[in-house]
Structure 1
């Protein structure tokens, strides 16, 4: 079964306090579901049409594990804490074998 990667990019952050509360809840929820944070922060370099925005890369053992993490009650509590505090894009991508 191929691994999966959760890729999140932040278009804007309108409420840093809400983002901080989200992070306190989301990190442990994602790790409890088997996620491993590989990278997070501002990009070192952007190319082509990329926007200089915060990005997060999380590895999971499978797509099912990644979607389960997102849909878990613990992560949903983190999303509720974030509310409209950030405009984000999240994708789950299956690794190539």
Structure 2
């Protein structure tokens, strides 16, 4: 099974997750928004589903997909030390700018 990082390395998969942030959507909407073929979108959705990043709900002939943000905590945890670094650098910049007044 691929890691969350590996799955999200593909730009189209990130685009799919961006579209699903606003809520559940049927495959047809994703195909239209992404201007991709239905088989290509379905292939990406399968990878996202296998990674636990999306889940599917069947409604008659339609499949509705929604975001599962829990696996993104792996990425959030990895980024936390970098956020601290950015904050400290921004604080230093702010202090420097304050001395220029």
TM, length-normalised to structure 2: 0.28
Q: Which of the pair has the greater relative contact order for Cα pairs under 8 Å at 6+ separation?
A: 1
**Higher strand fraction (1 or 2):** 1
User: Computing the radius of gyration over CA atoms, which structure comes out larger, 1 or 2?
Assistant: 2
TM, length-normalised to structure 1: 0.29
**Higher helix fraction (1 or 2):** 2
